[in-house]
Amino acid sequence: MRFGCCGSMIDPDNDKTGINIIEALADVGFDYIELSIRDIMALEREAYTNLSGRVRKSGILCESCNNFMPRHLKMTGETVDRGAVLSYIRDTAARASELGTRIIVFGSPWVRDVDPGFSKDTAFSQMADILTSVGDIVREYDIIIAMEHVNRVDGNIFTSIPETLNLVRTVNHPNVRLLIDFFHMQMEKEPVDEVLDAGSLLSHIHFARLYKRLFPKDFCEDENYSPFFQNLKKISYNSRISIEAYTRNFLEDAGESLAFLRGVFS
Question: How far apart are alpha carbons 264 and 266 in whole angstroms?
Answer: 6
Q: For residues 182 and 8, what is the distance between their CA atoms, to the nearest angstrom?
A: 18
> Domains in the chain: how many in total?
1
Q: 6 with 18: CB under 8 angstroms? A: yes
Is 244 within 8 Å of 208 (Cβ atoms)? Answer: yes
Digit-coded pLDDT (tens) for 186-217: 999 999 999 999 999 999 999 999 999 999 99
Percent of the chain scoring above 90 in pLDDT: 100
E runs forming strands in 25-139: 32-36, 61-66, 103-106
Amino acid letter, residue 239 = S
Read off the pLDDT of residues 138-172 as tens digits, 9 standing for 90 and up: 999 999 999 999 999 999 999 999 999 999 999 99
Phi, psi angle pair for 59, to nearest 5°: 95, -10
Rounded-to-integer distance, Cα 62 and Cα 215, Å:
20
Q: What is the CATH number of the domain that holds 41?
A: 3.20.20.150
Structural domain that includes position 131: 2-264
Report if pTM > 0.75. yes
- Residue 190, exposed/middle/buried by CB under 10 A (0-12, 13-18, 19+)? buried
